[in-house]
Structure 1
Amino acid sequence: MMDLHQGALMLLGPTMNAKVAFELSERIPHLGLRMKEHCRRAMEYAIRMKKLGLKVIYPGLVDHPQHELLKSMANKEYGYGGLLCVDMETEERANRLMHHLQNYTQFGFMAVSLGYYETLMSCSGSSTSSEMNAEEKELAGISPGLVRMSIGYIGTLEQKWSQLEKALSRMQDGTLLNKN
């Protein structure tokens, strides 16, 4: 059974921890509801951030280069996903924004993994894509100040938006908002 090359373990795979399996089975029935809220909030934040003058990258926005392609493929109930990007142009401004969002307003947490019920964010150029050289980052559209956010669904949308606005006003220095 334990022979990894010929035994049943190789064919059937290991057995999941019973507690983990139970916890997953408890969460699966409402996964669809959570994902709908996750995506709905990302769309709403993308629209509002864009109105503030931030450079937002989100496939739900009509000015996104692949908007029509995703629109033709996406399940309309779920929208365009729960991840969005804000380009702060420099790593320093990206880190300042994330610092304010995490430490002053509790909008979300800085993290590398972006799967959680709370909002998580990372500066891709200095974290998950740090092994890429400058040319590769440019080809991939990763600026030094690109902040990826996985929008959470804890608290009301308006409570979380208020936290985001407080962080933005706290760091308002005339260079944060791009005039589009």
Structure 2
Amino acid sequence: MLTGLAVLHLLMVARGALHVPLLPLTDTTRPWAQAYGHWTGSSSGFSFFAPGVSPAVRVSFDLEGASGEPLHDDFRSDNGAVNVRIHSMNLRFNLEESRDALARAWAAAMFGRHPDARSVTVRVESLQLPGMEAHLQGARPLWTEAYRAEFQRRVPAAVSTGEVTP
């Protein structure tokens, strides 16, 4: 019986790696098979192997201080949990529809970390991996700029003492 379960598991792993959909299952067995695939990772598709792997991303911030001096921040923290969250945001940067909003949020965070800064340039670089043939000919991974946005600190609007109208 144990051998049968091992064979079934290997079939699930092969199915996930080859992106073959599950065979028609009943409404009773489908949730169990899907849960097993998620729990064991056999349904992951193993996309951490090339060419399905997405490029590594790094973010840095160039700031201009109050008197014009250049500052640099790489948005790292001494807190490991914070660094995991930052890494998670970096992974989201590959989603085109969220790039500008994420860059604005990062710039706001930088203005919070550097209250005297006048401007922030958000730079995102991605690691371009050469193909195997190019690698064998000596090509190496190369960081290339994937996104750049500049943000200026806004002067807060004066607080009005008048009535608020609907």
What is the TM-score normalised by the length of structure 1? 0.28
- Larger RCO (CA under 8 A, 6+ residues apart): 1
Structure with greater helix percent: 1
What is the TM-score normalised by the length of structure 2? 0.30
Larger Rg: 2
Structure with greater strand percent: 2
